[in-house]
Chain A
Amino acid sequence: MKKTGFLLTSFAALLTAASASAQDIPVKIGVLTDLSGVYADASGPGSVFAAELAVEDFTRQSPGLNVEVISADHQNKGDVASSIARRWLDDDVNAIVDIAASSTAFAVHELLRDSNALALFSSAASSGLTGEDCSPHSVHWTYDTWMLAHGTGRAVLEAGGDSWFFIAPDYTFGHTLVEQTSAVVQENGGEVLGSVSHPFPGQDFSSFILQAQASGAKVIGLANSGQDMINAVRQAREFGVTQGGQSIAAIMLNIHDVHSLGLEASQGLLFASVFDWNLNEGTREWSARFEEKMGTKPSMMQAGVYSAVLHYLKSVEATGTTDADTVVTNMKDTPTDDPLFGKGRIRADGRKIHDAYLFKVKEPSASEGPWDYFEVVSTIPADLAFRPIEDGGCPLAQ
């Protein structure tokens, strides 16, 4: 009798667990991003909306999960990011998404290593997140510095730019990008004549441009992004960099940057990226929904937030739990497929891989209107676009 009772109780418990997996698992997703600073256009409120779109699309098909999206501004400061993340962990947030600067990303990355929540990085760039310090609770979604350095660096080298001078912001992202692009340049027979680190965020780049001009390098590599990059390109044009026979390589370029710079100032720039709204029917359709609310086309980071949240929710539904280890294992075991990035997968080191593209900024005459800025020069297959897993030194990959 006792045995039967135990069996019945276990059965009942299993039943509740099973029904819980089908309905009403509370999932809390925190979008931690730059809502007001230099990255607010490329990430920011657009990232929050992208997460909401993912939840909307997911719950339309499987109404089982009870998903809540919250957001906060980390002001690109590591300490602010980590105190918000700490508070969110206390409030049972299951996944922290986006995170706009590498310095803030590392703060969250370390904090979540021993927690029961996952970090899904879309805006942060440093490939260190999946390197020696990789964490079982971090997934690096959209792009990284290795991919930018190799994609953009190689393309510019092939076009004849074999001597470089770098202008980079003085924090992890800039340092890593310079280091990795320098390696690409040197491996392929080019030389690096120097680099300068500017305070972040910067406003006046004229001094650094003057140093780059004095170096005599053929290519001035801008390893900064957002507003810094926009100001640097504008001022480089002002100081006659192109008339002087040097060319500018913006290692990381976003659609919002080009929109702000105008095609006149940015035409001809070559850069690597993983997304453009105009790639195919799927990206166009989703981007139209995004634009309707936000008034701009999405950046690759915002598209990445959508894709990451969608895949995360699928894994929560499949495993019937929000337990970080269980969900992340399922995420890595299940190939990804969505309208924005196509087919891909998440490697053991937490790196999500998908195809990347080499883009070129169109000439003003070739553009059909606002936001029609990029043409695809070539596609870099997923396996070549990102750092080989064995080169990263991530202990999880062994």
Chain B
Amino acid sequence: MFESLGISPQVFFGQLMLGFINGSFYAILSLGLSIIFGLLNIINFTHGAQYMLGAFVAWMLLAYLGIGYWWALLLAPIIVGVLGMIVERVLISRLYHLDHLYGLLLTFGLALILQGVLRNAYGVSGLPYSVPPQLTGGQNLGFMYLPNYRMWAAIVALAVCLATWFLIEKTRLGGYLRAANEDPVMLGAFGINVPRMLTLTYGFGVALAAFAGVLAAPIYSVNPNMGADLIIIVFAVVVIGGMGSILGSIFTGLGLGLVEGLTKVVYPEASSVVIFVIMAIVLLIKPAGLFGRTV
């Protein structure tokens, strides 16, 4: 099989591993998008910028306050999440009764503003952020050299994804959230503060993006464009998985990471389009997405 594709087993397994790691990033990002869309009906185009902001806040914590990676992993999502909640309260909440398109345009505009401001202040070449000393180095797996940090980032991202799935699908709080999506008026009649729940949900989705940003900071250079490049792919992941489907986002994220990884070996020039080709096919055959329910 490997010979027919013109690649060695070493390269093949190496790419599978990398695809899995990249896929876990897609998963955590598309999960946040999916939650926000599923519960708020907002297509959050600021997601990529919020991911970038997570990385920037981690860098700022280190550069200005001397706070390192481990605290940043906790603090940056909280800071960006709170900023997200303010944006939801002040701006997004005014759009719930309007068409999706308004939310999309508002969040897209916010993303451009965030990117522009940071680009103006810090340039585009990027700021260095080091791998924490506990996670430097790597393991020789025989077929590849796997940096410890990548492995850590992938495992943590997946753990957070599964915990989120559990929270939403299996707990009482999650039940409220799903109910708020089905029938907000009824839930409000039961004495639940629905607007506050929506604000917290948006904050949580944004915090997931920022968390992914902190995880990504030591891998990529922290630069204002890092989210813009990724967000389009993540949107495709959400569409393929089915808008609003949580497990769908996780599985599709991982699966597309693998497909993209293999394309990079077989025909690297196509690696940036392969996901969109799959998206087009999925939309033709199953318009609601692989895991989506037809409405």
Contact = CB atoms under 8 A, between A and B. Distances in A.
A260 B261 contact: no
Contacts of B221: 227, 230-231, 234, 260-261
Contacts of A257: 125
A5 interface: no
B18 A210 contact: yes
A129 to B, nearest CB: 24
Nearest to A40: B124
Contact of A244 (B14, B145, B223): B145
Interface residues of A, number: 42
A262 interface: yes
Interface stretch (B84-92, B162-170, B248-256, B265-273): B265-273
Interface string B91-126: 000000000000000000000000010010001111
A260 B125 contact: yes
Interface string B121-143: 00111111001000000100000
B201 interface: no
A260 B220 CA distance: 11
A352 interface: no
A227 B261 contact: no
A245 to B, nearest CB: 12
A208 B125 contact: no
A226 B145 contact: no
A214 B123 contact: no
B10 interface: yes
B113 to A, nearest CB: 13
B69 interface: no
A296 interface: yes
A36 B115 CA distance: 10
Contacts of A204: 22, 219-220
B62 interface: no
B123 A296 contact: yes
A227 B18 contact: no
Contact of B144 (A36, A197, A210, A235): A210
Contacts of B127: 260
Contact of B125 (A198, A206, A214, A226): A226
Interface string B17-60: 01001100000000000000000000000000000000000000
B145 A235 contact: no
Given A207-B18, A214-B11, A37 B269 contact: no
Given A227-B221, A238-B219, 12 more contacts: A37-B124, A38-B124, A44-B124, A199-B269, A210-B11, A227-B124, A227-B223, A230-B126, A239-B147, A243-B145, A256-B123, A262-B128
28 contacts: A36-B119, A36-B124, A41-B123, A41-B124, A196-B268, A198-B268, A198-B271, A203-B220, A203-B229, A203-B230, A204-B220, A207-B15, A207-B18, A207-B268, A210-B14, A210-B18, A211-B11, A214-B10, A214-B11, A214-B14, A227-B124, A227-B225, A234-B221, A238-B219, A239-B138, A240-B138, A256-B123, A260-B128
Interface of B: 8, 10-11, 14-15, 18, 21-22, 116, 119, 123-128, 131, 138, 144-145, 147, 149-150, 219-221, 223, 225-226, 229-230, 261, 264-265, 268-269, 271-272
Closest CB pairs A-B (n = 5): A199-B272, A207-B264, A260-B125, A41-B125, A240-B145
